[in-house]
Amino acid sequence: MNTTTKGVVRGITANLLEIRPSGPVRQNEICYVSSDGASLMGEVIKIIGETAYVQIFDTTRGLSEGAEVTFTGERIEVTLGPGMLGKRYDGLQNDLEKFEGVFLQRGQQSAPLDDDSKWGFRPLAKAGDAVRAGDWLGELSENGLPHRVMVPFRWEGSFTVRDIVPEGTYGIHDTIARLEDEQGVVREVTMVQKWPAKQTLTVYREKHRPHKLMETGVRIFDTMYPMLEGGTGFIPGPFGCGKTVMQQALAKQADADVVIVAACGERANEVVEIFTEFPELKDSRTGRPLIDRTIIIANTSSMPVAAREASVYTAMSLAEFYRNMGLRVLLLADSTSRWAQALREMANRLEDLPGPDAFPMDLSATIAQFYSRAGTVTLHNGQQGAVTFIGTVSPAGGNFKEPVTESTRKAARCFYALNQRRADSKRYPAVDPLESYSKYLDYPEFAESLAQSVGSDWITNAKTLQNLLIRGKEAADQINILGDDGVSLENHIDFWRSELIDFVLLQQDAFDEIDQLAPLERQRRMSRLVLEICQMPIPFENYTEVRPYFSKVINTLRQMNYSRWESDEFNNYHQELSRILAEKATEMAV
Amino acid sequence: MEINPFAKRYHHLRDITRATCTLDAPGAHNEELAIVGGRLAQVVRVKGQSVTLQIFSGTEGLSNDAEVLFLGRYPDMPIGDQLLGRFLNAYAEPLDGLPPVEGQRISLGGPSANPVRRAQPFEPILTGLPGIDLNNTLVGGQKIPFFADPDQPYNEVMATVALRARADKIILGGMGLSYDDYLYYRDTFRQAGVLDRIVAFVNTTQDQPVERLLIPELALAAAEHFAITNNEKVLVLLTDMTLYADALSIVANRMDQIPSKDSMPGSLYSDLARIYEKSLQLPAGGGSITILAVTTLNQGDITHAIPDNTGYITEGQLFLRKDTDTGKIIIDPFRSLSRLKQLVIGKKTREDHPQIMNTAIRLYADAAEARSKKENGFDLTDYDVRAIRFARDYTEQILSIDVNLEMDAILDRLWRILAAHFTREEVSVKEQLIRKYWPD
Ligand SMILES: Nc1ncnc2c1ncn2[C@@H]1O[C@H](COP(=O)(O)OP(=O)(O)OP(=O)(O)O)[C@@H](O)[C@H]1O
Ligand SMILES: [Mg+2]
């Protein structure tokens, strides 16, 4: 490792510097450039001959030719340890809370962990145990979650535990164990370790196919296009169609132990919303404030572009860290297009040969590599952990035929396409039910797991609903071409069945206190009701009767959605529904 | 402009392009200001000894032996309450015939606010326009543009909104403003008697396009002074951001950058975000900066890179459109959106607001479908006919920009229009609201 290489700035174009180093430099190595008393952090992104090209994570105003550079020998690293839950970081894991003043300052840095914090530690390993990277040495309780202190991920080979501290309270930098390697060298372990953010963490036994539903309380996910623990998905959509609202609903409601939200090049007010609301909202499963299980990486759109690129890797590394403790982590990134744009800005400055839409040629591979870091794994000790990853994509002009959407489609298993027309007519969430998919519906291991939990009809119901929606769409097309009189009565009924599914199951008001969260039991009941009505033979006399009938049915079911589960109100609407259905049935019998 | 007697001087320009010049000037600082043959310029690239300067007013007639003077400072402006009532150009010099503004100079383009120091926006800004207050409620600390074709009265609507918004200070940033529109703003503010609350930075069509790039920075630095130092509610008007983006592309093009979509620089998103993200709400007792902007469209095309990137940055957009049925200019309920509205509607406004607003737009969508049915020559059902009648009332009495109503009156009016054309089931909002507000 070299820590002595220095350098001199030779060229400046925006935040790209050309640096002449005095000794060896590594690709992706971090360096610091001194400018007016501040020390600006940068990353080597290309080395050509005598010149290292460095992107600076800050503005370069005031920098001049000849400025001094110090190379660190390290790549971008995250610091991992207890106390990250509830924190608000920037893309380089600076703790934003520790910065003073209203405005961010140049060259500012702050410690990711609270260096003098103390935790109640309980050993899990004992002297003499054979261990290797990632193995659990002990645990502590972080906001009610079991936080495992592990053998540092970067340590290669196998070790023997020489000694470990007894149960007690320790500082994060205290030595809690000493390990001896095969050569007899003794190394000390604290609660803190570092990891290069862009490197995939693989200190587990194996990765397998996801099989378990990740409950979200969002009907279009759970009932129609389920997401699994350790699964991947993405939400592309034109601006204003509901990507962020959807992700925030998932951040609030999804059944996960840890939620990491990476606000990557999006609006500051959106993270402020999380900062403001999450401490107030309760996690319905644990009863604790939501912020206790959440980490926010806020590299908003006006923050330095290069740090935006780093922010998604920072977030992923934290997610992998908690996965290795046997926890289920949900990682959300909004928006991965901004990350891709950061790559594009830098590639352009480097004058690299541009690919489609001026994005770098290797965009597809970069995206695929990132998504591949998600997954369910079995750790060396047999425990399981998962990182579920859902990103948003913001396609230029709202057109899905563009490089980021197309590359992500190849990498992610679930596709939640937001549709402008649905958003325009306020049919929220504006997920297009026909274009979207969850490939997990075809996983036999998922079907098996569902059969043991919510029932084996879950997947068949999802598929039936999809078919009814397709029939409804075809009927709507027919009606549009031939007019109301020009099509059969059956077409009208098909169309209204799909409207019923749309209004009662697909649409869900993210801002209604009750409607926003539908537990699985409630989803099952409502989708069965809807399916029953769809399968009921209702021989109308004339197409003009179809709309009033379905309007009434839809309205009553929507009132049920707005009522507290199994409250009197809810039950009354249910009875009213039965009355409407029965009335129609007798009317027909007469 | 004050010039340091020790400032470095050079007399040999190696290259001159339409917007830049390059010379050997060791030790120049990135983004430092310079004077090239009497024109203001800024360092945009350093390569060894060689330095490229962007000349704001262009290089026409510039000689390659022009004197170059490095100023050792960065774009800045005089700041303070003495700005009030003033109309200034892109260099913060008087346009109004008054003496130059004195005061402590602060640098422009400062860093953005730490997200954890912001507060969540909470205060509705009511404008009297139901198309805004009902469907797209504005909130202090928000950033939102008007999307409009060049022939629409966006400057008039924006001036109306600004005057009704009850802001402590209004800062106008005019970019490529026609001289007539500049006078329009000046006279409107004067007639409303608010000149003592206004600061204007104006670059008109007569000025150099590249100079426009300085306007938002001036306007926002002034806004930060009033909002952060004086804890006031500041409204910033930026018109026309499309012309600002055009100036960005001119510079990028002359610097040989690879253009991305619609010949715009690849950094357009970040460049625009840096401006719009200056909007903010400070915690209780502190001020706020709200940005209202204009982004003109080319024949309503919002997929063009400028409106598209803007839409991804701002907290919604207000889409002005002419309704062909009634001939009214309306705030289009489909394409318009205020993303911050849910922070205030039904909380700071009446409880029925959120549901009734969405329902009306959904029914308006039904009317649009019915209309296209009609255009395709099909018979309309009774429902279609009612939906179309509803849309007409809704357009004339709610969406049209010539309506001016208090919030509760808007909601009452909307219930009446809905009840006149639809049944309760068709309206399908929470029954508890129907019971309370449905007019008999
Ligand atoms: N499920 C929902 N229920 C109610 N309203 C919704 C829902 N989803 C979206 N909306 C409305 O749509 C608006 C825009 O949503 P959102 O901010 O999530 O869009 P976005 O796709 O993230 O846009 P951008 O790409 O510009 O960030 C919200 O402010 C809200 O008014
Ligand atoms: Mg968003």
**Nearest chain B residue to A503, by CA:** B428
Whether residues A106 and B111 touch (CB distance < 8 A) is answered with: yes
The pLDDT, as a whole number, for residue B18 is: 83
Contacts of A86 in chain B (CB under 8 A): none
Q: Mark yes or no for CB contact A10/B74 under 8 Å.
A: no
> What are the structural domains of chain A?
6-75 (2.40.10.170), 111-193 (2.40.50.100), 210-437 (3.40.50.300), 457-589 (1.10.1140.10)
- A-B Cβ pairs (cutoff 8 Å, strict): 204
Query: A426 vs chain B: nearest CA distance in angstroms?
Result: 6
- Give CA separation, A488 vs A48, A492, A500, B369, in Å: 71, 7, 19, 20
User: Using a 6 Å cutoff on CB, does residue A429 contact ligand 1?
Assistant: yes
Q: Which ligand is nearest to the CA of A241?
A: 1
In chain B, residues under CATH classification 3.40.50.12240 are 76-341
Provide the b/e sequence for A466-498 (b: ≥16 CB within 10 Å). bebbebbeebbebbeeeebeebeeebbbbbbbb
Q: Which residues does chain B have within 8 Å of residue A555's beta carbon, measured at their own beta carbons? A: 424-425, 428
Query: Which atom of ligand 1 is nearest to A247's Cα?
Result: 18
**Residue B421 φ/ψ, nearest 5 degrees:** -120, -20
For chain B, which residues score pLDDT lower than 70? 1-6
CB A399 within 8 A of CB B308: no
A451 touches chain B (CB under 8 A): no
What the block records as the tokens of A49 is: 């001959």
CA-based Rg of chain B, rounded to a whole angstrom? 25
Which residues numbered 352-411 in A keep a CB inside 8 Å of some CB on B?
354, 357-358, 394, 396-399
- Give the strand order in the sheet containing A136-142: A145-150, A136-142, A118-123, A168-171
Closest ligand relative to A240 C-alpha: 1
Q: Which helix (H) or strand (E) holds A444?
A: helix A444-452
C-alpha to C-alpha distance for B291 and A312, rounded to whole angstroms = 29
Query: Mutate which of A245, A266, A503, A514 to test ligand 1's pocket (most atoms within 8 Å of Cβ)?
Result: A245
For residue A2, what pLDDT is reported? 47
For residues A22 and A5, the answer to whether their CB atoms sit within 8 Å is yes
Residue A238: its pLDDT value, please? 94
User: Closest residue (by CA) to atom 15 of ligand 1?
Assistant: A242
- Closest in B267, B373, B378 to A345, CB measured: B267
Q: Taking the domain B9-70, which CATH number applies?
A: 2.40.10.170
Q: Which of A218, A220, A234, A244 to mutate to test the pocket of ligand 1 (most atoms within 8 A of CB)?
A: A244
Report how far residue A538's alpha carbon sits from residue A547's, in angstroms, rounded to the nearest whole number: 13
Is the CB–ligand 1 distance for residue A244 below 6 Å?
yes
Q: Is residue A243 within 6 Å of ligand 1 at its C-beta?
A: yes
Instruction: Retrieve residue A30's tokens.
Output: 């971090």
Could you tell me which of B83, B126, B142, B56 has the C-alpha nearest to residue B316?
Answer: B142
At residue A468, the 3 state secondary structure works out as helix
| Residues near A545 by beta carbon (within 8 Å), at least 6 away in sequence | none
CB A548 within 8 A of CB A587: no
> B262: Cβ–Cβ under 8 A, 6 or more apart, which residues?
B304, B305, B306
Residues 64-83 of A with CB under 8 A from B: 64-66
Please tell me the residue having the least CA distance from ligand 1 atom 28. Answer: B339
Ligand nearest to the CA of A236: 1
The reply to whether ligand 1 has any atom less than 6 angstroms from the CB of A394 is: yes
The closest-lying atom of ligand 1 relative to the alpha carbon of residue A394 is: 25
> Residue A272: which of B26, B74, B118 has the nearest Cβ?
B118
Interchain pair A394, B312: CB under 8 A: yes
A564 close contact with B: CB closer than 8 A: no
Verdict on whether the full-model pTM lies above 0.90: yes
- Which ligand sits nearest to residue A243's alpha carbon? 1
- Angle among Cα A567, A573, A578 to the nearest 5 degrees reads 125
**Closest by Cβ to B47, choosing from A11, A305, A544:** A11
CB within 8 Å of chain B, chain A residues 197-236: none
CB B344 within 8 A of CB B137: yes
State how far residue B195 is from chain A, nearest Cα, in angstroms.
Answer: 29
Under a CB-based contact definition with an 8 Å cutoff, are residues A109 and A96 in contact?
no
Taking an 8 Å cut-off on Cβ atoms, the answer to whether B260 and A344 are in contact is yes
State the Cα–Cα distance between residues B45 and A12, nearest whole angstrom. 6
C-alpha–C-alpha distance, residues B62 and B73, integer Å: 23
A431 in contact with ligand 1, CB cutoff 6 A: no
Whether A567 has its CB under 8 Å from any CB of chain B: the answer is no
- Residue A53: phi and psi, rounded to 5, are -95, 125
CA B288 to the chain's CA centroid: 15
- A352 DSSP 8-state letter: P
AA letter at A432? D
Regarding the domain delimited by B76-341, which CATH topology (the fold level of the hierarchy) does it fall under?
Rossmann fold (3.40.50)
Q: Per-residue confidence of chain A (590 residues) as pLDDT tens digits?
A: 445 899 999 999 988 999 999 999 999 999 999 988 889 999 999 999 999 999 999 889 999 999 999 999 999 999 999 999 999 999 999 999 999 999 999 889 999 999 999 999 999 999 999 999 999 999 999 999 999 999 999 999 999 999 999 999 999 999 999 999 999 999 999 999 999 999 999 999 999 999 999 999 999 999 999 999 999 999 999 999 999 999 999 999 999 999 999 999 999 999 999 999 999 999 988 999 999 999 999 999 999 888 999 999 999 999 999 999 999 999 999 999 999 999 988 888 888 888 888 899 999 999 999 999 999 999 999 999 999 999 999 998 889 999 999 999 999 999 999 999 999 888 999 999 999 999 999 999 999 999 998 888 999 999 999 999 999 999 999 998 888 889 999 999 999 999 999 999 999 999 999 999 999 999 999 999 999 999 998 878 899 999 999 999 999 999 999 999 999 999 999 999 999 999 888 876 65
Are B115 and A562 in contact (CB < 8 Å)? no
Helix (H) / strand (E) element for A30: namely strand A30-35
DSSP state of A303: S
Task: Please give the residue of chain B at the shortest CA–CA distance from A66.
Answer: B27
| pLDDT the model gives residue A23 | 93
Ligand 1 centroid vs A53 CA: distance in angstroms? 39
Span(s) in chain B for CATH 2.40.10.170: 9-70
